[in-house]
Amino acid sequence: MLKYIVKRLLMLIPVLIGVSIIVFVLLRVFAADPASVVLGEHADAAAMESWRDSQGLNDPIIKQYWDFVTGAVQGDFGESYYTQTSVFTEIMSRFPATIELAIAAIIIASVLGIVIGVITAVKKNTIVDNLGMFVSLIGISVPIFWLGVMLQILFGKTLGWLPIQGASDADILFDKVTGSYFLDSLISGDISNFTNVLWHMILPAFTLAFYTMAIVSRMTRSSMLDTLNQDYIRTARAKGLAEGRVIRHHALRNALMPIVTVIGLQFGSLLGGAVLTETVYGWPGMGKYLVECVQKSDFPVVQSAVLLIAVIFVVLNLLVDLLYAFLDPRIKYGRKEA
Amino acid sequence: MKKVLCGVVAAMMAVSLMAGCGGSNDSSNKNDSSSQNALSSKNDSSSSSSEKVTSLIYGSGADPRGLDTALVDDNESAKATMQIYECLLKYKDDSTEVEPCLAESWDISEDGLTYTFKLRQGVKFHDGTDFNAEAVKFNVDRQTVNKTDDMPYADFVFGTVSECKVIDDYTVAIVLKQKNTAFLANMAMCFGAPIVSPTACKENGGSLMKNPVGTGPYKFVSWSKDDRVVLEKFEDYWGEKGKCDQIIIKTIPDASAKINALTTGEVDIIDGIDTTMVEQLNADTNVTVDLTDGMNINYMAYNTTRLDKETRVALSQSVNVDELVNSLYDGYASKATTILPTFLPGYSEDVAQVAYDADAAKKTLADKGVTEVKVITYSNDRPYNTATGKTLAEAVIGYFDKVGVKADVSTFDWTTYKDKIIAGDYDICFYGWNGDNGDPDNFLNLLSDDDPSMNVARFNDDKFNEYITTGIATAAGDERNAIYAEAEQYVADEAAWLPISHQQNITACRTNIKGFKYHPTATVYLAKVEKE
């Protein structure tokens, strides 16, 4: 098992080299000149040329890439062109907020998605099935920005139940220790800070979860239908097992493999940043920031953030594969088949 | 084990539900109580929990680029920095006329080259450093002799400065290389001109992007990226102290969400409101909408190196600007009769642009055999053009079509668009300008600039350049204003640009907010704003 994990982690290296080369070249070929963005409307051509020189942008692209890679290996990802702050600081001041929103969303999506999927599979071709699939069809079809604004109007404005902007009330202050609003509010020791953050998370987490929930519920339904037709389910029922036990222990566990794969991939996407949800709710995460940096041709940030996202995907895929072994004892990693 | 876990989760949910319900029914109460939480959690030792803390929350469309005014050029940054820093001079509340601030008075030498400022005494920076002539010299030198490439406004504000001399502790003389009547206006600008603490600047390696220290009515507390900047009242401020205890600049990037945040009371003030939202806000009794004239110009520029004067005039004749402005901007922009906004010195109502005459345009263009023009535009909206460059271009080519001219239109995102402007492969482009300092030179010198990204019409005319050279060296007053009025008429006759509109600034605040004004320079000064 350990050998397998190490092998998979070593595969990160060619993935990262490939991703970094692609991003590096694409940015330099297609992105606009960052000098005019950084130096503003009043900069003349000489100032822009001097700035490009100082940033090494006039060097051959191979040298630029080598400088980036050698820096990155030593943990130096450079400075943001636009804010002149270290890229590590810029990303880490936003990434924890993205992680906590993604975790909240994936929990909501997984629980609701699996519950809806199982119920619709068990109650196949009934009104419950149709209703569940109608909800998931809406989840797949509805634009997130529209859903976000509608939920804001309903729960924020009309009903006045939930806050609609940011990760906490604007005038609540607590020290940023981990960068995660959830954890930092707990660390502050004031329960009202924690509940305030939790309350702010409800709408964005639900909005972000809606699409994933729909995917998970459809996948669960289809996988469950397949499993429920298997002989061993019939055997279990014939043995006289309670229907609930048949569904939970025999059908769902066997149906979980594709569901876990989908949840893993969706979680990876959510961790890469949820641009629309973050924009609508003013959530201080990484997705919106990354898009802004692409628009501003802030090369060092984009390169580093994309590498981070690549690492997340590879590691999450590994975790999903490891989960297979946990879910299905027949799967063993690192052993040759007999 | 499972039961224990379930119990813990259930207990946490119950606590959060109870606390959440209690705190979220009334948003104004919620703000007040949480303000107290904020200070009590931060300043346990220094503030009494019985004092009511007023927090003014400003909804801003983007995160600041940084908090060092020498290193930034965006208005989002200025919303925070102009509460923290001050300049030698400041603009009057509703105009671009300057008045004393950190300088109590000033003299201009007879040759117009030396500006001697008498500085205010007893002023301290937020870090305790004394404000004096050495501090001013440090700031001027920082953006002149010690200038670095990443100071976007250094040349604009201090480009004509040759040296800064300390006369005594509270007197400083700034010597110019050439006459520059706009220099005083530059000394009140929100970029470049604000005075930073020399001590803090040196301690932070020459950059105050994250740790701003000025002399202003509010001092910096914290900046949570893409979330909020928090400022608190500076108790040792030399002038009238800030009305609110805290100012919070809250980042809300989505336009609809910003409106919702204002109407639910999560923020007190917002700006940059889309014209389509004004009606909705006007219907809300808890909100006041404010419209102010914008210091900007939205225009169409002809590439004067590719189109001759006769063609330019004919194309201008083909566009019904009145109709265009009325249909595109819902009454929130005024038709531009000149390049200068009406409230700027040098504006003249006697200037006449090329009048709409489609028949004459059709005849001239047919005679000259002009049947196609290459047009480039930008896809997004701009502060001076809320309808987007794409929409504006589509409307204009409709007029061209009516006079027999087909347009080959290419649309680009703003950053790429600027590269295309520099490349110069176009007959017509759309552009605009937000004024920096309220001086007419700031608008009209665009047409004499050597840089094609500024002078997008690539207009190079000796007579016009003479107007600009004379204007900048002439002392403020009627004589100078007459020069700019003449220059305006000259360039209108040459039809280098077709001025289209001046966009209004649309802001809104809760009705319990008093004293808020959006300054013509698109900056906000919040010290006098009260929250009842």
pLDDT at position B356 is 96
Note whether A167 and A178 are within 8 A (CB).
no
Per-residue model confidence as pLDDT tens digits over B54-75: 999 999 988 999 999 999 988 8
B518 and B460 belong to one structural domain: no
* Residue B109 domain-assigned (yes or no): yes
Based on the domain organization, do B287 and B300 belong to the same domain?
Answer: no
Give the C-alpha separation, A336 to A9, whole Å: 20
The secondary structure of A238-282 as a DSSP string is HTT--HHHIIIIIIIHHHHHHHHHHHHHHHHHHHT--HHHHHHHT
**Is residue B16 predicted with pLDDT exceeding 70?**
no
- Give me the CATH number covering residue B233: 3.40.190.10
Residues B476, B342: one domain?
yes
Look at residue B329 and tell me if it is in a domain: yes
Task: Answer whether B207 touches A (CB < 8 Å).
Answer: yes
**What's the CA gap between A295 and A292, in Å, rounded?**
5
B284 touches chain A (CB under 8 A): no
Question: Looking at the 3D structure of chain B, how many domains does it have?
Answer: 3
Instruction: Find the CATH number of the domain harbouring B450.
Output: 3.10.105.10
Q: Do B73 and A176 touch (CB under 8 A)?
A: no
Please tell me whether residue B39 adopts helix, strand or coil conformation: helix
**Token pair listed for B224:** 């949570």
Across B169-206, the runs of DSSP E, i.e. the strands, are 171-176
Nearest CA in chain B to A280: B254
Residues B383 and B434 in one domain: yes
Beta carbons of B180 and B128 less than 8 angstroms apart:
no
DSSP states of A151-179: HIIIIIIIS--S--SSSS-TT-----SSS
Q: Do residues B286 and B407 both lie within one domain? A: no
pLDDT at B33: 35
The shortest C-alpha distance from A130 to chain B (Å) reads 31
**H or E segment at B249?**
strand B246-251
* Residues 234-263 in B contacting A (C-alpha not used; CB under 8 Å): 246, 248, 250-254, 256-257, 260-261, 263
The answer to whether residue B73 is domain-embedded is no
Q: Is A182 on the interface with B (CB under 8 A)?
A: no
Chain A, chain B: beta-carbon pairs less than 8 Å apart: 194
B57, B164: one domain: no
Cα–Cα nearest to B41, from A188, A167, A184, A168 = A188
**Residue where one domain finishes, among candidates B195, B223, B251:** B195
- Residue A270: the pLDDT is 85
Mean pLDDT per segment of 10 residues, for chain A of length 338 residues? 80 88 89 83 80 90 92 89 90 91 94 94 91 92 90 90 88 83 89 91 93 94 92 88 86 88 87 82 88 89 90 85 77 58
Averaged confidence pLDDT in chain B = 88
Q: Kind of pairing, strands B98-100 and B89-91?
A: antiparallel
Would you say residue B278 has pLDDT above 70?
yes
CB-based contact, B209 to chain A, within 8 Å: yes
A170/B250 touch (CB, cutoff 8 Å), yes or no: yes
B322 with B470, same domain: the answer is yes
Element (H, E) at A313: helix A299-327
- Give the residues across from B118 on adjacent strands: B105, B171
pLDDT tens digits, one per residue of B214-253: 999 999 999 998 899 999 999 999 999 999 999 999 998 8
Q: Is residue B210 part of a domain?
A: no
Residue B235 tokens, joined: 């108790």
| Residue B239: per-residue pLDDT | 93
Same domain, B283 and B332: no
Q: Map residue B526 onto helix, strand or coil.
A: coil
* B521 shares a domain with B467: no
B1 in a structural domain: no
Give the DSSP H or E segment for B184.
helix B183-186
User: Tens of pLDDT along B331-379?
Assistant: 899 999 999 999 899 999 999 999 999 999 999 999 999 999 999 999 9
Q: How far apart are CA A86 and CA A171, in angstroms?
A: 27
Domain that holds residue B492: 296-503
What gap in Å lies between CA B458 and CA B306, rounded to an integer? 10
Q: How far apart are the first and last CA of chain A?
A: 17
Nearest CB partner across the interface for A163, out of B24, B57, B66: B24
Which residues in chain A have their CB less than 8 angstroms from residue B207's CB? 84
Inter-residue contact B527 to B240 (CB < 8 Å):
yes
**Overall pTM > 0.90:** no
**Residue A311: how many CB atoms within 10 A of its CB?**
14
How many whole angstroms separate alpha carbon B242 and alpha carbon A261? Answer: 56
* pLDDT(B508) > 90: yes
In a domain, B2, yes or no: no
B415 to chain A: closest CA residue: A32
**C-alpha distances in Å from residue B241, one per residue of A124, A141, B88, B130, B217:** 70, 53, 18, 18, 6
Alpha carbon of B16: minimum distance to chain A alpha carbons (Å) = 5
Q: Do B518 and B393 belong to one domain? A: no
Is the pLDDT confidence value at B391 over 70?
yes
Q: Which pLDDT does position A88 carry in this prediction?
A: 92
Statement: residue B20 has pLDDT above 70: no
**B24 and B156 housed in the same domain:** no
Contacts of B435 (CB under 8 A, 6+ apart): B96, B295, B296, B341, B344, B442, B443, B520, B521
The answer, for B28 touching chain A at a CB cutoff of 8 Å, is no
Nearest CB among A167, A190, A288 relative to B253 is that of: A288
The verdict on A86 touching B (C-beta cutoff 8 Å) is no
Q: How many residues does chain A have?
A: 338
Per-residue pLDDT band for B200 (boundaries 50, 70, 90) equals very high
How high is the pLDDT of residue B284?
Answer: 92
pLDDT of residue A336: 53
Residue B259's nearest CA partner among B517, B17, B69, B506 is B506
DSSP characters over B283-322: T-TTEEEEEEE-SEEEEEEE-TTTS-HHHHHHHHHH--HH
Q: How far is B103 from chain A (nearest CA, A)?
A: 27
* Segment B100-140, tens digit of pLDDT: 999 999 999 999 999 999 999 999 999 999 999 999 999 99
Is the Cβ pair A282, B65 closer than 8 Å? no
Task: Tell me, yes or no, if A47 comes closer than 8 A to chain B by beta carbon.
Answer: yes
How far is B88 from A195, CA to CA, in rounded Å? 46
Q: pLDDT of B315-338, one tens digit each?
A: 999 999 999 999 998 889 999 999
Cβ atoms of residues B456 and B304 within 8 Å: no
Least Cα separation, residue A293 to chain B (angstroms): 12
- What is the mean predicted confidence (pLDDT) over B302-324? 96
Q: Is B149 on the interface with A (CB under 8 A)?
A: yes
pLDDT of residue A273: 65
**Dihedral pair phi/psi, residue B341, rounded to 5°:** -60, 155
Strand ranges, E, within B396-435: 406-412, 428-434
pLDDT at A249: 84
Query: B171 in helix, strand or coil?
Result: strand
Do A164 and B264 make contact, defined as CB atoms within 8 angstroms? Answer: yes
Give domain status of residue B79, yes or no: no
pLDDT value of position B17? 37
B212 vs A124 pLDDT, higher one:
B212
Higher pLDDT, B23 or B428: B428
Q: How confident is the model at residue B51 (pLDDT cuts 50, 70, 90)?
A: low
**Beta-carbon-side half-sphere exposure of residue B429 (alpha carbons within 13 Å):** 26
Within a domain: B255:
yes
The CATH code of the domain that includes B94 is: 3.90.76.10
If you average pLDDT over residues B492-499, what whole number do you get?
A: 96
Same domain, B338 and B412: yes
